[in-house]
Amino acid sequence: QYSCAHPHYDPATKELISYATTFARSSTYTIYTIKEGSSERVPLCKIPVSYPSYMHSFAVTPHYIVLVETPFIVNPVDLVLK
């Protein structure tokens, strides 16, 4: 599992916004927030993906979180078998 290098801070909600990638047979990107003064991750959504991509960071707009998958992908099964 890994998280992005640069979480974003939303001054309107006073939350950090980030994502984490879980490697498994059915991998996921989990978008989450952390409220100011807390260390608890609150999941916003999970996005299933067959071959997770390396993503250094992401973008945030007032209404969207934008993940950009690059061609640098990982086959999660290969992580276990090799």
- CA–CA separation, 75 and 35 (whole Å): 33
**The pLDDT of residue 25:** 83
Three-state DSSP state, 80: helix
List the end-to-end C-alpha distance of the chain, in Å, as a whole number.
17
Q: pLDDT digits over 64-77, tens only?
A: 999 998 898 888 88
Which residue type occupies 33? Answer: T
Give the H or E element holding residue 77. Answer: helix 76-81
- CA–CA separation, 45 and 27 (whole Å): 13
- What is the pTM for the complete model shown? 0.85
Structure tokens, 19: 């994502």
Which residue type occupies 13? Answer: T
**The pLDDT of residue 58:** 93
